[in-house]
Amino acid sequence: MLIRAVAIVTDRNNFREFRVLAEEAGYRIVDTVYVRRLTPRGLSEAKLEEVREAVRRSLAEVVLFDKELKPKHMYNLWKHVNVQVRDRVEVILEIFRRHSPSKEADLQIKLASLNYELARAREKVLLAKSGEQPALIMGPGQYEVDKYYLEIKRRIQTIKRKLEEERRKRSVHRGMRRRRGYKTIAITGYTCSGKTTLFNYLSGMSMKTGDEPFTTLSTKYSLLKIGLWKAYIIDTIGFIQDLPPFVISAFYSTLEEVSEADIVYLVVDVSEELDKASAKLETSLDILDKLGFKGKVIIVGNKVDQINNREALRPVKSLFDATGHPSIFISAATGEGVDKLLRLTEELLGIGVETRVEIPYTRGDFFEIVGMVKEEGVGGFEELEDRMVFRGRLPEHVIDKLIHKGVKVYAEGLRSTSGA
C-alpha cells in the first residue's frame, strides 16, 4: 500500500519524473505545492502554511521535496508540518533498496546512504552544538552526535574495503578478457530508456524490464560475436538527472565497467518530447564525462516503433549529430535497426587484417590451429596437397598468436613469417 504524500515541486517540467520516482519508492502524491525558490531557512512562511494546509487537507503522512535539502531546511519544514520529510535523494535511495538484487548492490546502496548521511551529519553536529537541532531528532546530546558522526565514517571505510575487493576482481576479469582479445560494449543511458530491453534482444536473455526506474542495479554480462570480435555486452545502472556525486561514487565499482568499455551504446528514448530527450541525452553525456570515459560512443535512438510519423525523427537526428557521435535509430522491442547497429559496431571495433595462413597437415597441433582460425576469422579455407590455406580477415591479436606458434602467416602490411 502506497504512503500518502504531499510533493513540494521546484521544477514543473520534471514533476512527472519525480512522481514516477515517488511511486516507485512507495509513495502516492495526493497534493502538490509549487515553490520558486528557497529562503535561507528553507520555505517562506506563506509556503510553509500552504504545505501545512495541504498535509491537513489530504491526510498525508509524509512530505516529499523534489530537490536535495539541507538538514536545517528539512528540520524547519518538519517542525511546521509535523510529518516525516524526505528529499529527492532519499526517494532515490529508497528505490535502490527496493530493487537491490545482490550483495554487492546492497553494499553500494549502504555506501550511498551513509555518504548522504555523513554530509548531513556534519551540519547536524553544528546544529546540535549551537542548540538549533533538538534532542527529539538527534539524540540526547552533542557527544552522542559526535560519536554518531565517527561511527558513520567507520562503517563507510568498512564497506569501501569490501567494494574494493569486488573492484579488484572486476579488474582481474577485465584483464583476462583483454588478453584473450575480447571487446567490451556497455549499454548506458537514462533510466527507463530501454537499455535492458536492448540487452535482452542482443543476448537472448530475459532480464527484468519495466517502466519503473532503476530495475538494473547490478551489472549483467553476455558474450556476443560481432564480426571478427567476441564482445561482452554489459547492462548497467540507468542515469538520472541531479544524481548526487556520492551516489555515482558508491556505484563506481559497477560504473567502472562503463569507463573501461571499448564502446558505449548510449540509449535515448526518442518517443519522448524533443526537449526531454535532449535534457536526458545531455545528462547522460555529462555522467560519461564524469566517469572519465574515453572510448567510442554510439547514440542509440530507441523506441522508434512507438513513432507513427518517422519525419518526426529529423530534429532528433539533428540533436544526435550535434554531439559529434555516430547514431542509429532502433526498436529494441522489435529488433528494427539492430542489424545496422551491429554493423556500425563492427566498423568501430575494426574489420581486421587481410591475411593468408598456411597450415601443414603434418603439424601436431593442426586441428587446434584450424579451429582457432575458423573461430576467430572471417573467410574461407582451401585444401591443398600438403597444407590447408586460409584466406580472409583476422584480428591482430590472433595473427600475433599464430606467429608466436610458428605458423606461416602473410598479412597485409606485415612481412611473411616462416613456420617451423
Same domain flag for 12 and 83: yes
Residue 175 lies in a domain: no
Cα gap 353→227, rounded to integer Å? 13
- CATH number of the domain bearing residue 407: 3.30.2130.10
Residue 420 lies in a domain: no
Same domain flag for 217 and 304: yes
Q: CB neighbours (10 Å) of residue 165?
A: 11
Total domain count for the chain? 4
Looking at per-residue pLDDT, the higher value among 137 and 168 belongs to 168
pLDDT at 238: 76
Same domain flag for 344 and 361: no
- CATH number of the domain bearing residue 27: 3.40.50.11060
Bridge partners (DSSP) listed for residue 265: 187, 298
Same domain flag for 211 and 292: yes
Cα gap 309→287, rounded to integer Å? 31
The pTM assigned to this predicted structure is 0.68
Listed in sequence order, the DSSP H helices in 131-262 are: 135-138, 142-179, 195-203, 245-250, 252-259
Same domain flag for 344 and 374: no
Same domain flag for 309 and 242: yes
**Closest Cα to residue 78, out of 42, 46, 105?**
42
Q: Which residue segment(s) compose the domain that 403 sits in?
A: 353-411
Same domain flag for 257 and 400: no
- CATH number of the domain bearing residue 230: 3.40.50.300
pLDDT at 294: 86
What Cα–Cα distance (Å) separates residue 349 from each residue in 185, 263, 276, 305, 358? Answer: 10, 8, 31, 28, 26
pLDDT at 211: 56
- The HSE-up count of residue 23 (CA atoms within 13 Å, CB side) is 11
pLDDT at 106: 79
Residue 170 lies in a domain: no
Pairing between strand 296-302 and 327-329? parallel
- What does the pLDDT look like over 296-336, one tens digit per residue? 999 999 999 998 887 889 999 999 999 999 999 999 999 99
- What does the pLDDT look like over 33-74, one tens digit per residue? 999 888 777 888 899 999 999 999 999 999 999 888 887 888
Domain endpoint, select from 349, 365, 398: 349
What integer best gives the mean pLDDT of the chain? 83
Same domain flag for 195 and 319: yes
Cα gap 262→210, rounded to integer Å? 27
- Using an 8 Å Cβ cutoff, are 222 and 145 in contact? no
Residue 171 lies in a domain: no
